Amino acid sequence: MTTLTTQVAIIGGGPSGLLLSQLLNKAGIDTVILERATRDHVLSRIRAGILEWGTVELLREAGVDARMDKEGIPHDGCYLTDEELMVHIDFKGLTGKQVMVYGQTEVTTDLYNAQAAMGTTVLHEVSDVEIHDLDQAKSYVDFTHEGTRKRLECLYVAGCDGFHGVSRKTIPEEKRKEFERVYPFGWLGILSETPPVNDELIYSNSRHGFALASMRNENLVRYYVQVPLTDKVEDWSDQRFWDEFSRRIPSEAASRLVTGPSIEKSIAPLRSFVSEPLRWGNLFLVGDSAHIVPPTGAKGLNLAASDVYYLYTALIDAVKGKTSGIDEYSTRALARIWKAMRFSWQMTTMLHRFDGEDAFAEQMRKATLNHLATSETARRDLAENYIGLPF
Ligand code: APR
Ligand code: PHB
């Protein structure tokens, strides 16, 4: 059997695995990434596009800021609305901080290019990954690549393989505690090469359901509408999407809406999920492998970034013999994860209609928005969470 050796084996080459690898290699720690899909497949997945400033700074630390600084768009605020109120959340005025509009696909592209420039090892189209000896001084990962079974020996394993990966399932079921909330709807999203309907994002809770007007750049929009889980992409022609979207955003914005063909269209279900603990012997879970948030607060990629921050600093210490960071990784990361869980659950609850809900639920949503409209303290609280809690 071909045997490779590294310090940190990274399962999964999505944003978590790539960013971790980038930061570790910059610090002189050797990694190997094992990714199931092709690079093109990883880059074809359209995900959210809002970076917290802490994420922006971590990407700078990783040396992947050049294109982000050129093409990313800093945003000072966003709008939350129902059919009666339009509330502006002034992130900059309330917290002194901004967020950056820059797509996850772009972040991932930049990270792949940076990894190639550093000459790190990223193996694609790897299958049947099995993680072994997590309770020993050294661990190993067996996998199939280019038709042969191979072994990767390592000190540590980072499970960056997303919700459907193998890493989390390597932790014995009786040792895992899972928390989950599945929401009874999904988001249908489209990309279209048209100018954004508004200069800042609009989160809109209308009587027809939720809609979000987001963007990637001055001629590329990302718009969403809440749909039943039973809907299929084929049920939604572009025309049907534009009709529905325009009646869910404020009429003043709808009057400015420019429509065009969609260049991507997909439906994502909404879920909150956490698996504890994040550490099992030499294995550390990072990003979507351990937790999923609904997209309403744009926290998915940003939480992956804070996990990476805690883990990469801890691993740098660990290879030098100081293990307090890896011992504390799970607790530190989970404290921040749960706060982001709370925020994205609260944003989701505040902005969506739930099928079969009672009249009380609607009043709660209205009162929440009304409170935001009239209380600077409430707006600051929202802004502080949106721009990202400190790492
Ligand atoms: N073996 C190897 N690779 C795997 C395996 C496996 N068994 N299972 C999954 N993978 C790969 C996937 O192909 C994917 O490229 O792991 C990667 C996981 O990437 P993501 O699902 O994107 O998860 P993560 O890197 O943690 O990214 C954080 O933030 O915006 C959110 O959900 C969004 O993906 C985003 C996440
Ligand atoms: C996006 O641009 O895709 C996006 C923005 C904000 C969100 C979710 C998604 O809350």
pLDDT reported for residue 302: 98
- Measured in Å, residue 125 CA sits from the centre of ligand 2 at 29
- Measured in Å, residue 306 CA sits from the centre of ligand 1 at 16
As given in the structure block, the two tokens for residue 141 are 């990962």
- Measured in Å, residue 348 CA sits from the centre of ligand 2 at 12
**pTM, whole model, 2 decimals?**
0.97
Instruction: Give 321's contacts (C-beta < 8 A, 6+ positions apart).
Output: none
Three-state DSSP class for 51? strand
- Measured in Å, residue 298 CA sits from the centre of ligand 2 at 5
Q: Which of 102, 140, 295, 310 is catalytic?
A: 295
Catalytic site includes residue 169: no
Residue 209 beta carbon below 6 angstroms from any ligand 2 atom: no
Residue with tokens 């982001």: 340
Separation of alpha carbons 42 and 37, rounded Å: 7
CATH, domain 2-75+98-180+271-347, list 3.40.50.720, 3.50.50.60, 3.40.50.300, 1.25.40.10:
3.50.50.60
pLDDT reported for residue 126: 98
Q: Which of 299, 309, 312, 352 is catalytic?
A: 299
- Which protein residues touch ligand 1 with a CB less than 6 Å away? 11-17, 34-37, 42, 47-48, 104, 126, 129, 160-162, 164-166, 287-288, 300-301, 304
Specify whether the CB–CB gap between 318 and 6 falls below 8 A: no
Catalytic site includes residue 75: yes
- Measured in Å, residue 373 CA sits from the centre of ligand 2 at 22
Task: Return residue ranges of the chain for CATH 3.50.50.60.
Answer: 2-75+98-180+271-347
* Cβ atoms within 10 Å of 360's Cβ, excluding its own: 7
Preceding peptide of 277 cis, ω within 30°: yes
Pocket test for ligand 1, best of 35, 106, 144, 306 (most atoms within 8 A of CB): 35
pLDDT reported for residue 265: 96
> In the CATH scheme, what architecture does the domain 184-268+355-364 have?
2-Layer Sandwich (3.30)
Specify whether the CB–CB gap between 18 and 42 falls below 8 A: no
Separation of alpha carbons 387 and 258, rounded Å: 29
**Closest listed residue to residue 78, CA positions, set 62, 92, 65, 96:** 92
Task: Work out the burial of residue 129: count CB atoms within 10 Å of its CB; fewer than 13 is exposed, 13-18 middle, 19 or more buried.
Answer: buried
Q: Which atom of ligand 1 is nearest to the CA of 47?
A: 30
Catalytic site includes residue 386: yes
Task: Return residue ranges of the chain for CATH 3.30.9.10.
Answer: 184-268+355-364
Instruction: Give 67's contacts (C-beta < 8 A, 6+ positions apart).
Output: 106, 110
The protein residue whose alpha carbon is closest to atom 7 in ligand 2 is: 298
Strand-pair partners of 271: 182
Residue with tokens 């879920």: 271
Residue pLDDT tens, the chain, 391 long: 899 999 999 999 999 999 999 999 999 999 999 999 999 999 988 888 999 999 999 999 999 999 999 999 999 999 999 989 999 999 999 999 999 999 999 999 999 999 999 999 999 999 999 999 999 999 999 999 999 999 999 999 999 999 999 999 999 999 999 999 999 999 999 999 999 999 999 999 999 999 999 999 999 999 999 999 999 999 999 999 999 999 999 999 999 999 999 999 999 999 999 999 999 999 999 999 999 999 999 999 999 999 999 999 999 999 999 999 999 999 999 999 999 999 999 999 999 999 899 999 999 999 999 999 999 999 999 999 999 999 9
